[in-house]
Amino acid sequence: MEQLTEELNQYNYEYHVLDQPSVEDAIYDQKMQELRKLEEAYPDLVHPDSPTQRVGGEPLDAFQKVEHKIPMLSLANAFNEQDIRDFVRRASQGIEEPISFVCELKIDGLAVSLTYENGKFVRGATRGDGYIGEDITSNLRTIRSIPLVIKEKETLEIRGEAYMPHRSFLALNKEREVNGEPLFANPRNAAAGSLRQLDPKIAAKRNLDIFLYGVGEWNNSKLTKHSERLVRLKELGLKTNPEWKKCNTVEEVMEYVDYWTKERPHLDYEIDGIVIKVDDLKQQEELGYTAKSPRWAIAYKFPAEEAITKLTDIELSVGRTGVITPTAILNPVKVAGTTVQRASLHNEDLIREQDIRIGDTVVIKKAGDIIPKVVRVLVEDRTGEEKEFHMPKECPACGSELVHLEEEVALRCINTNCPAQVKEGLIHFVSRNAMNIDGLGEKVINQLFQANLVKTIADIYRLEKEELLKLERMGEKSVTNLLQAIEASKANSLERLLFGLGIRFVGAKAAKTLAMEFETMDNLQQATYEDLLEVDEIGEKIADSIVQYFQEQKVIDLIQELKELGINMSYLGAKPTELEKGSIFNEKTIVLTGKMDNYTRSEAKELIEQLGGTVTGSVSKKTDLVIAGEDAGSKLTKAKQLDILVWDENQFQQALKDEGVES
């Protein structure tokens, strides 16, 4: 059994990683069948590294959350040659020694993290928000280019991109077409959808692949360059993309970019750009991080692909604040990997400026490779049958007269009872940055709205199990989970409620500022225009909007209803008095490492930032403090080498108490 396992894993490596199979498929299948029979006869001797163990276990009910010990930050973007040259210049200015770069293809897939302990693959997770992802170990085990065992005893956490090769994508869509199922728009969506299947057997059929390109945690100080890491990962049997290149000048970087901009159609997988990284790991540490991304890397995005199609109609939609937005209806056309049928036209002025008419042949592209937009009209293709478009004078949803508010381009419906606005307001209220009610997305809100179960925000908190069970696709378990999520949202801090109410000009940041300053909903309701202007970052527009909002009788009634329904009306975060400059964390650069018993990494980060500190991902000479939990690893070692102050969790907890923060 051990011999067969070793042979089959070697064949897998040759076939899926090296793309150099050494045996015929029939021989592989014969040995696999032999191993299966032996494992059935001797189940106690099944090795975890056996190729038969890639798909096993029952489907999951839900994915567990996984905290990334080292955040999986996204990269800043470059869109042209000047952006790349500016990045190289900035990186070089901060470094005394000569600097070189590694250029890699930016795989268009799903960012994942693989963790190996004592040589065994123990956990795989999605990137998530960079700090918390989802455990998709069972699905990642189905990718045959991921070895279940490697020759590395140190804990090793690797980052990479799981993707669907073109051949797998075409085969999958062909099968779905035969079965009458909706087709996937592009390989990226197909890969992401496959890895988020609760049944790993489904993921196994999708024939996914992976390229590994980075390291999160690795207690291996011998490697000093990113390029050396790529070589070592390959030596360990991990699949890296072979097309990376080391460049010593910006001209060499641009040559690499130009080459792959032209050659990418010939690859068997999708790429959407080029990643450029400083090669030297010590120089990476010196350059450090911004709040969102490393300063030592950048992602160049390929220019947006354009396509030509016919604009067949212009539809109107009513937004949460009453703004009427025209949308172009297009003959379906493929752009940057997805089929596009709609494109925003923003407002009537843009339609007039571009002289867009119904029936025109138009050029479209995706802004940032995401949002479709009409670039220009091919006037020379007009036949004379095209029709000019005029915005209506009445709201398409409620029939109320549309108005231009002062200094606004957009037409707006000012009927606050407009059903379209009410529905959009409900969708906003339950969204992630507002009340964050899991399971209550746009589709469910539409369903509830059409069934007349929800007409106001307060109605959400009056939903009952029996009426929900009558709805389509609402089973016992999903209804129970939904009602639990709604109940849990009652305990949210005040800023989430303020943002969710959709007060004009009050975004998430302003909501947090107002909640911290006034502490309760009652205090904010009673605040005068002058009181509001005294708050930092609150200007005249926001102050005026808030005063007007809380003067409306229906708002006063809504707040009272929400109070009676048990929704929290107080700010639960750190009080403004706790953010004094005297805080021990104020203006300090702090690194979190290892696992703490009482805090997740994101909780500790939020507490430090509330007290004026900055949390970064790597230890350098600029680090003021390292807070080390269990299994702290290389960051703790680095801190000791640089003689940086180190606290354990107890010291951190005591410092928070000294600052008046409850742990």
Q: Cα 612 from chain centroid? A: 26
Burial class (CB in 10 A: 0-12, 13-18, 19+), 200: buried
Which residues fall within 8 angstroms of residue 108, CB to CB, at 6 or more apart?
Answer: 161, 163, 186, 187, 188, 269, 270, 271, 272, 337
The amino acid at residue 472 is E
Cβ 542 vs Cβ 505: under 8 Å: yes
Which listed residue (31, 106, 225, 635) is catalytic?
106
The residue assigned the tokens 């309760």 is: 520
Structure tokens given for 520: 């309760």
SS (H, E, C) 458-483: HHHCCCCHHHHHCCCCCCHHHHHHHH
The residue assigned the tokens 């009788």 is: 553
Q: What share of the chain is helix, strand, coil (3-state, %, to 5)?
A: 40, 20, 40
Cβ 293 vs Cβ 74: under 8 Å: yes
Catalogue the E-assigned strands of 574-662. 589-593, 614-616, 625-628, 645-647
Cβ 57 vs Cβ 138: under 8 Å: yes
Instruction: Pick left, alpha or beta for residue 471 (phi over 0 → left; psi -120 to 50 → alpha; otherwise beta).
Output: beta
- Scanning 94-184, the segments in alpha helix (DSSP H) are 137-140, 166-178
Q: Helix or strand or coil: residue 136?
A: coil
- Give 218-273 as a DSSP string: E--TT--BHHHHHHHHHHTT----TT-EEESSHHHHHHHHHHHHHHGGGSSS-EEE
Catalytic residue check, 365: no
Longest dimension (CA), the chain: 82
Q: What are phi and psi of 55, to 5 degrees?
A: -125, 115
Which residues fall within 8 angstroms of residue 349, CB to CB, at 6 or more apart?
Answer: 409
In 3D, which of 95, 224, 116, 200 has the Cα closest to residue 160? 116
Neighbouring CB atoms inside 10 A of 318's CB total 24
- Strand ranges of the sheet holding 120-126, from the earlier edge strand across to the other edge: 120-126, 110-117, 156-163, 209-218
Strand duo 625-628 + 589-593: pairing: parallel
Which residues fall within 8 angstroms of residue 653, CB to CB, at 6 or more apart?
Answer: 598, 663
Cβ 270 vs Cβ 187: under 8 Å: yes
Distance CA 497, CA 385 (A): 51
**Catalytic amino acids?**
106
